[in-house]
Amino acid sequence: MSNKIIQWIDHRFPFTSFVKHELTGYPTPRNLSYWWNFGFLAGFVLVLQVATGIFLAMHYKADVALSFDSIQHIMRDVNYGWLLRFMHSTGASAFFLVIYIHMARTLYYGSYRAPRELMWWTGQGLLLLLMATAFMGYLLPWGQMSFWGATVITNLFRATPFIGEQVVIWLRGDYTVGDATLTRFFALHYLFPFLIIGAVLVHLVALHTVKSSNPSGIDLAAKDNIPFHPYFTIKDFYGLGIFLIVYCIFVFFLPNSLIEPANNIPANPMLTPNHIVPEWYFLPFYAILRSVPNMVGGVVAMGLSVMMFAFMPFLDRSRIPGGAHYRPIFRLQFYLFLLDMLVLGYIGYIPPTSQSILIGQVATLCYFGSFFLVPFVSKAEERWLIKRGLPPDVQALIAGESREKSQSPLRRRSGDKK
């Protein structure tokens, strides 16, 4: 019976062929490691946030006189309201954790390189949309940290040349962060996730055009691909199980660890808390902002620090395929970069002292330095590695690639059978 229905649909819509081509039969490299689970996890957390968000929105009131109380209403009176709220607040942190690991995987394995530049750039766009969504969402509880965090960050737009002051007022809808700001941030916070869903679909179309990279960085022959179902469907579900355990430990036992105590105090425009600090996922960029003594310089540095990732396909000039697998110096650079991010995160968290500011400035220089060094180090490393001797398959690939480039620059590489 169900076969008849599916046949009826197939006459009118490419249902079965789509499912076979893009889902069940979709060719995937057999050697993908667990680091490739995180894209799926990001999609799952997106669904989780949208679902909890919509049900929270059934009870939340976006009005300065009512919002803090409505959150308490959700926490205390709404059936399982406390669960929805904690799932949503923990989910935001989970989203960034998964995305940062996903980005780290891409950097480490060189998955941003040709022909996957558009994947990297759509991903960059997704990161910006996510950061904007999280920032606006954080104002909604209307706690002390919500209010003052929004005040500080909207103030930054003053750095816009000539019209800075007007931009800030336009953004807020008022001279200070107030009711107008709260209402519009709620409207936009509800909207942006759907823009994210659209951008994810674009991201996936790009993926299905160039197919996944793999840990070796060398595209495999067609015979070394396996169908996505059942191998990677089950692997994704298993990874999801592990993720959910960690997620639920936070939701059920440690939810308050991710909520700043000051945000349990209703916003007071007359009193700034001693210690304004953004959520953990913004800390490194916050540290970079504070490292530059000039206000405009700080804003530019912070903006650039997020956008720098986009340049990686151009900065990385090595012809050694993939990422860190065959490139020990690139690997070292990667780990040092991670360490630098952690240092920046810590500096962003603690209250600024002259010592911490200095460390932050050094870390900021290292941050940008890592990117600026890539073009030179990648080429030098390539020369060194070729001299030292590369594994034969890598050599063959480099030779093949330079041959291909001279013959037909637009032809896709092996293993990319459609």
Partner 1 sequence: MKKFIVLLMLCCTPSALWAEEAKLETVQVETSVAAIERGAETLMINCHSCHSLKYIKYRDLANFGMDKKKIEDWRGDQPLDAPLSSQMSEDAAVQSFGVVPPDLSLMTKAREGGASYVYSYLLGYYSTPDGVTGNHIYPATKMPDILGSSGVTEPAAREELQKKAHDIVSFLAWAADPHEQERHRLGYYVIGYLFILTLLLYFVKNQVWSKLK
Partner 2 sequence: MADSDTLGDSNRRNFLLKMTSAVGGAGAAAACFPFVASMNPSSDVLAKATTEFDLTGMNPGDMRTVAWQGKPVFVLRRTPEEIKAMEASDGGPDPEPDQKRVKKPEWLVVVGVCTHMGCVPNKEGPGWTCHCHGSQYDDSGRVVRGPAPKNLEVPPYHFVTADKIVIGEA
- Residues near partner 1 (CB under 8 A) are 30, 69, 72, 75-76, 82-83, 86, 226, 230-231, 234-235, 237-238, 241-242, 244-245, 248-249, 251-253, 255-256, 259, 261-262, 264-265, 274-275, 350-351
Q: Is 189 a catalytic residue?
A: no
The residue type found at 380 is: A
Residues 341-400 that bind partner 2 (CB under 8 A): none
29 prior amide bond cis, ω within 30: no
CB distance 350 to 274 below 8 Å: no
Give me the catalytic one of 279, 316, 381, 382.
279
Residue 181's alpha-carbon distances to 165, 185, 265, 317, in angstroms, are 16, 6, 19, 45
Q: Which is nearer to partner 2, 55 or 135 (CB)?
A: 55
Q: Is 325 a catalytic residue?
A: no
Binding of partner 2 at residue 73 (CB under 8 A)?
A: yes
Whole-number Å distance between alpha carbons of 189 and 184: 8
Q: Which is nearer to partner 2, 86 or 326 (CB)?
A: 86
Give the contact letters, 215-244, x = binds to partner 2 (CB under 8 A), - = no.
-----------xx--xx-----x-------
Q: Which is nearer to partner 2, 26 or 120 (CB)?
A: 26
Binding of partner 2 at residue 193 (CB under 8 A)?
A: no
Q: Which of 76, 387, 403, 418 binds partner 2 (CB under 8 A)?
A: 76
The site partner of 227 among partner 2, partner 1, none (C-beta below 5 to 8 Å per kind) is partner 2
The site partner of 79 among partner 2, partner 1, none (C-beta below 5 to 8 Å per kind) is partner 2
Q: Which is nearer to partner 1, 86 or 285 (CB)?
A: 86
The site partner of 75 among partner 2, partner 1, none (C-beta below 5 to 8 Å per kind) is partner 1
Give me the catalytic one of 67, 212, 291, 318.
212
Query: Which pair of structure tokens corresponds to residue 288?
Result: 């970079």
The residue type found at 391 is: P
Residue 246 Cβ vs partner 2, minimum distance, rounded to whole Å = 16
Q: Which is nearer to partner 2, 81 or 278 (CB)?
A: 81
Whole-number Å distance between alpha carbons of 379 and 356: 35
Whole-number Å distance between alpha carbons of 59 and 112: 42
Q: How many residues does the chain have?
A: 418
% helix, strand, coil for the chain, step of 5? 75, 0, 25
Tokens 């809808």, residue located: 173
The residue type found at 388 is: R
CB distance 61 to 256 below 8 Å: no
Please give the size of the binding site for partner 2, defined by CB under 8 A. Answer: 19
Sequence-distant (≥ 6) Cβ neighbours of residue 211 within 8 angstroms? 27, 28, 29, 219, 415, 416
Query: Which of 143, 137, 142 is closest to 88 using CA atoms?
Result: 137
Residue 380 Cβ vs partner 1, minimum distance, rounded to whole Å = 40
The site partner of 51 among partner 2, partner 1, none (C-beta below 5 to 8 Å per kind) is partner 2
Looking at residue 219, the DSSP 8-state letter turns out to be: P
Query: Which of 132, 321, 75 is closest to 214 using CA atoms?
Result: 321
CB distance 155 to 168 below 8 Å: yes
Strand, helix or coil at 350? coil
Give me the catalytic one of 61, 102, 211, 235.
235
Binding of partner 2 at residue 84 (CB under 8 A)?
A: yes
Binding of partner 2 at residue 188 (CB under 8 A)?
A: no
Q: Is 382 a catalytic residue?
A: no
CB distance 43 to 239 below 8 Å: no
Q: Is 223 a catalytic residue?
A: no
Q: Which of 18, 34, 80, 252 binds partner 2 (CB under 8 A)?
A: 80
Residue 135's alpha-carbon distances to 131, 214, 281, in angstroms, are 6, 33, 11
Phi, psi of 141 (to 5 degrees): -65, -15
Q: Which of 55, 68, 185, 282 binds partner 2 (CB under 8 A)?
A: 55
Q: Which is nearer to partner 2, 10 or 393 (CB)?
A: 10
Q: Is 211 a catalytic residue?
A: no
Q: Which is nearer to partner 2, 52 or 122 (CB)?
A: 52
Give me the catalytic one of 219, 236, 316, 381.
236
Q: Which residues bind partner 2 (CB under 8 A)?
A: 25, 51, 55, 58-59, 73, 76-81, 83-84, 226-227, 230-231, 237
Catalytic (active-site) positions? 208, 212, 235-236, 279
